[in-house]
Amino acid sequence: MALGYKTRRRLSLLILVIGLPLYIVVAVNLVDLIDRPSLWVELGIYLGLGFLWMIPLRSVFLGIGQPDPDQPPKP
């Protein structure tokens, strides 16, 4: 089932405002469980986790910046 444009817009806003900060807190706490790896390893972990959240949510964010395709064109 495909999500409508307005639903995807609302869901993307919810993800960015609530979900992403929670994901950041969880990622920092997970890395903190490891006894402070070297700077480059820690940077690699954060970069990997930074891209990991986008993969399953790509379809939600795709086309959000475009005008609503369901609206008739303005004269």
Q: Is residue 43 part of a domain?
A: yes
Cα angle 31, 62, 14 (rounded to 5 degrees) comes to 60
Banded pLDDT at 73 (limits 50, 70, 90)? confident
Banded pLDDT at 14 (limits 50, 70, 90)? very high
Q: Are 8 and 60 in contact (CB under 8 A)?
A: yes
Banded pLDDT at 15 (limits 50, 70, 90)? very high
Which ranges in the chain belong to alpha helices (H)? 5-14, 20-33, 39-52, 54-61
Q: Is residue 74 part of a domain?
A: no
Q: Is residue 6 part of a domain?
A: no
Q: Is residue 9 part of a domain?
A: no
Within the chain, what is the greatest distance between any pair of CA atoms?
Answer: 62
Percent of the chain with pLDDT over 70: 99
* pTM beyond 0.85, yes or no: no
| pLDDT value, residue 67 | 81
Q: Is the Cα dihedral 19, 20, 21, 23 positive or negative? A: positive
Range of the domain at 42: 19-61
Number of domain units in the chain = 1
**Average pLDDT for residues 18-24, to the nearest whole number?**
93
| pLDDT value, residue 23 | 92
